[in-house]
Amino acid sequence: MTFGLALSCVAAIYWTIAIALLVVSVAATILQPRIAEKRARRRDQPPVSVVLPVKLLEEGFERTQESALAQTYPRFDVTASAVDTDSPAARKMRELFARHPNIPSRLLASTARFAASPKVDNLHAPFMQAENDVILMKDANVLLEPDALAEHLRQLGDDVGLVCAIPYCAGLDNFAAHVEAAIINGPHARMLFLASCLGQGHGVGKIMLFRRSDFLRAGGFSAISHTVGEDNALAKAMRRIGQRPVFSHRPVRQELGARSFHDVYQRQLRWSVIRRNDELLSFVAEPICQAFPALVAGALAAPLVGMAPLSGFAATFGLWFTLETLLSMAKGWQLSYAAPAVFVAREAVMLAVWVNAWMTDRVVWAKDKVHARVAAQKAPPAHEEG
């Protein structure tokens, strides 16, 4: 067997696996809400403390944060926390609280400085001082439907320690936002939906629903302070005490607005470095979920079926792009007339990010550069905050 023939055969095997994974994950993305909902058996509605970490006043902040106060849930309170309680974002939170006087709410000053992630520092006060055992944490750019709290809580069974929701991107106002949405709604979402269909859960921090008693039993902040991937660390900590992480049957809407390519790249790099540090095997395998390696494999394998390499490349591009486009239409996700250009830009960004993630531990979080991992430090007592 010549080298060229051997290379074509290896490429054909890779192409077959990549396309099969694409097809299966597309199907899983469509089926997951029905499958996961059948597992949502909880019916009682205990009181919940909703926690909103606050830092920047970005586009859409008012709408997304107010959605947490507009829940059709019988008993819940809302706590926001901020390092600077006089920042524009903090002042906006006070305005939102004033609009909903019937919802118990407060703003805490966050003074903790012990974690790799500034977000974890910001969460210490509201987690430890929460009025209720059940806590829902929501990121600032996540828009909740009015029944979201009630629906996500249905997943928090006796053997479930953490409920997360798979995010999808909406409110896309420029080309860079469409590129980031193509990453999150594309390979990232498909793999998470597939994992959920297979009964697997992971930490995805757009929302996190859990019991504080479980959190403390799993190690509390000591279990998540060493990494900027606190969501994944929390999921692992829950597994260690026999509590499963699961994905909700309800995805959550992540508002992007207008993005810059620099911000898109830095955010994707941060998540990739986290995955490299915390889930090395899956990180190594990530390229098989991306289109570009499959396009190259299609070109190399094409001669085996009597096609020119360029035809194999083009056929793979058409198949991948068509399936993802049809999936977005089926899910009601926002599309652009520039979708082919978005597809190409997405593949370039994902490949560059994956390569770069091997070479750095410095990442950007909310415009600040931080190390992705540090030595774990002891969390301060709750009374030192707010």
Q: Tokens for 194?
A: 């597939």
Dihedral (C-alpha) 114, 120, 123, 128: value to the nearest 10 degrees? -60
**pLDDT at site 371:** 73
pLDDT score at 382: 54
Q: Which two tokens stand for residue 55?
A: 């830092």
Residue 310 · residue 299 · CB < 8 Å: yes
Distance, CA of 162 to CA of 242 (rounded, Å): 11
Q: Read off the pLDDT band of 378 (50, 70, 90).
A: low
Position 143 scores a pLDDT of 96
Q: Is the pLDDT of residue 250 over 50?
A: yes
Where residue 5 falls among pLDDT bands split at 50, 70, 90? confident
Residue 376 pLDDT grade (very low, low, confident, very high; cuts 50, 70, 90):
low
pLDDT at 350: 96
pLDDT digits (tens, 9 = 90+) for 155-203: 999 999 999 999 999 999 999 999 999 999 999 999 999 999 999 999 9
Provide the terminal-to-terminal Cα distance of the chain, rounded to the nearest Å: 71
Would you place residue 59 in the very low, low, confident or very high pLDDT band (cuts 50, 70, 90)?
A: confident
On the question of pLDDT at 149 being above 50, the answer is: yes
* pTM score of the predicted model: 0.93
Q: Which two tokens stand for residue 199?
A: 């009964």
pLDDT at 361: 85
Burial (0-12, 13-18, 19+ Cβ within 10 Å), 231: buried
Binning pLDDT at 50, 70 and 90, where does residue 384 land? very low
Average pLDDT over residues 293-321: 96
How does pLDDT run across 33-44, given as a tens digit for each residue?
999 999 999 999
Q: Where are the beta strands (DSSP E) in 298-367?
A: 362-365
Note whether 369 and 269 are within 8 A (CB). no
Assess whether pLDDT exceeds 50 at residue 103. yes
Q: What's the average model confidence in pLDDT over 225-251?
A: 95
pLDDT at 136 > cutoff 90: yes
Mean pLDDT (whole number) for 340-349:
97
Q: What value does the mean pLDDT take over residues 236-262?
A: 95
pLDDT higher than 90, residue 291:
yes
